[in-house]
């Protein structure tokens, strides 16, 4: 197990290097370096010597790879440059907006758990009956709606027609987080209901369930004590893996509901071509994604006693 963890951590290094390199290269492909950008912003006409001097000062005359390593060094000290638009430090801007996005992500995962697990179990238990069909149709329809459509429908229904929630988020209260997280939870629940149902059905078809029923153990007891326990590992893995698609999805939902997180920050930055901000967003989202996936993979192994106790090496 420990060997495995070390191996996975070592594998993380080239991936992180690739992510940072791609983010850096992306910024350079975007065409303008900091000096040109500043000139554009101030509108001043300066001689080539001044430009060259400024380039030398910022190290922009060095070869591409040297620049990358200098940039990487700065990155490790939390320096990602300044925004072209607001002139604020990129890193601190990003850090100040991250908690809102994390709050949104956590509440939507919790909502997903609350919606999808009971419905998934219900559908599995009532397999091929009316309830099952209803749940499956709902999940199919939910899967066929883009999240911005769901967001606008919810907004129309709850904020405009029923006046329950505010149209745009005001602060980070419970009422403001409700609609954006419900939007994300609907999309995720629709996606995972099928898999949760399949997992439970798979477990229910195993011999020990038939054995327990033959011995007269109550169905609810089998469900609670054996089936759920056994399926939980797969379900938890599914949900943590959903963090990735969640991270991409928050951008659209955040900008619809004016939720002041990193997703909205990125969308605004894209419309204003504020490359340092876009770069920070892409890079950090990728890093968070990779790290979460690694943690999922490790916890999956820890949660499954067959692997933890060394009986099965995957």
Residues in contact with another protein by CB under 8 A are: 15, 18-19, 22, 26, 29-30, 128, 136, 140-141, 143-149, 152-153, 155-156, 160, 167, 194, 198, 201, 244-245, 247-249, 251-252, 255-256, 266-267, 270-271, 273, 278, 281-282, 285-286, 289-290
Report the b/e string of 85-100 with b at 16+ CB within 10 A: eeeebbbebbeebeeb
Shortest Cβ distance from residue 36 to another protein (Å)?
16
Cα 285 to the center of its chain, rounded Å:
7
**Minimal distance, residue 289 CB to another protein, in Å:** 5
Long-range CB contacts (within 8 A, 24+) of 131-136 = 132/197, 135/193, 135/197, 136/193, 136/194, 136/197
Contact 254, 285 (CB under 8 A): no
Q: Of 160 and 214, which has the nearer Cβ to another protein?
A: 160
Which C-beta is closer to another protein: that of 133 or that of 305?
133
Residue with Cβ nearer another protein (51 or 294): 294
d(CA 262, CA 158): 25
Q: Residues near 312 by Cβ (< 8 Å), separated by ≥ 6?
A: 306
Report how far residue 165's alpha carbon sits from residue 159's, in angstroms, rounded to the nearest whole number.
Answer: 5
CB of 193 to another protein, least distance (A): 12
Query: Shortest distance, CB of residue 57 to another protein, whole angstroms?
Result: 27
Q: How far is the CB of 66 from another protein (least distance, A)?
A: 22
Q: Which is nearer to another protein, 111 or 249 (CB)?
A: 249
């Amino acid at each position: 197990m420990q060997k495995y963890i070390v191996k996975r951590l070592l594998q993380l290094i080239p991936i992180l290097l690739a992510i940072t390199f791609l983010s850096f290269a992306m910024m350079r492909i975007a065409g303008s370096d900091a000096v040109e950008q500043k000139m554009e912003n101030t509108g001043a006409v300066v001689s080539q010597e001044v430009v060259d001097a400024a380039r030398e000062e910022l190290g922009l005359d060095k070869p591409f790879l040297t620049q990358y390593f200098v940039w990487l060094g700065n990155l490790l000290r939390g320096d990602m440059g300044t925004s072209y638009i607001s002139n604020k430090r990129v890193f601190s801007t990003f850090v100040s907006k991250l908690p809102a996005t994390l709050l949104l992500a956590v509440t939507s995962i919790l909502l997903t758990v609350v919606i999808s697990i009971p419905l998934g179990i219900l559908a599995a238990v009532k397999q091929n009956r009316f309830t099952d069909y209803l749940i499956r149709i709902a999940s199919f329809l939910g899967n066929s709606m883009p999240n911005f459509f769901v967001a606008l429908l919810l907004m129309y229904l709850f904020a405009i027609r029923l006046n329950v929630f505010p149209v745009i988020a005001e602060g980070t209260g419970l009422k403001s987080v409700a609609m954006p997280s419900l939007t994300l939870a609907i999309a995720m629940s629709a996606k995972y209901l099928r898999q949760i149902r399949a997992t439970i059905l798979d477990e229910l078809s195993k011999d020990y369930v038939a054995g327990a029923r033959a011995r007269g153990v109550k169905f609810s007891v089998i469900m609670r004590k054996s089936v759920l326990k056994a399926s939980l590992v797969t379900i938890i893995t599914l949900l943590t893996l959903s963090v990735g698609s969640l991270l991409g999805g928050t951008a659209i939902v955040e900008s619809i509901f004016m939720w002041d997180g990193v997703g909205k920050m990125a969308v605004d930055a894209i419309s204003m071509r504020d490359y340092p901000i876009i770069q920070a967003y892409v890079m950090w989202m990728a890093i968070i994604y990779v790290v979460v996936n690694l943690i999922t993979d490790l916890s999956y192994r820890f949660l499954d006693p067959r692997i933890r106790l060394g009986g099965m090496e995957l």
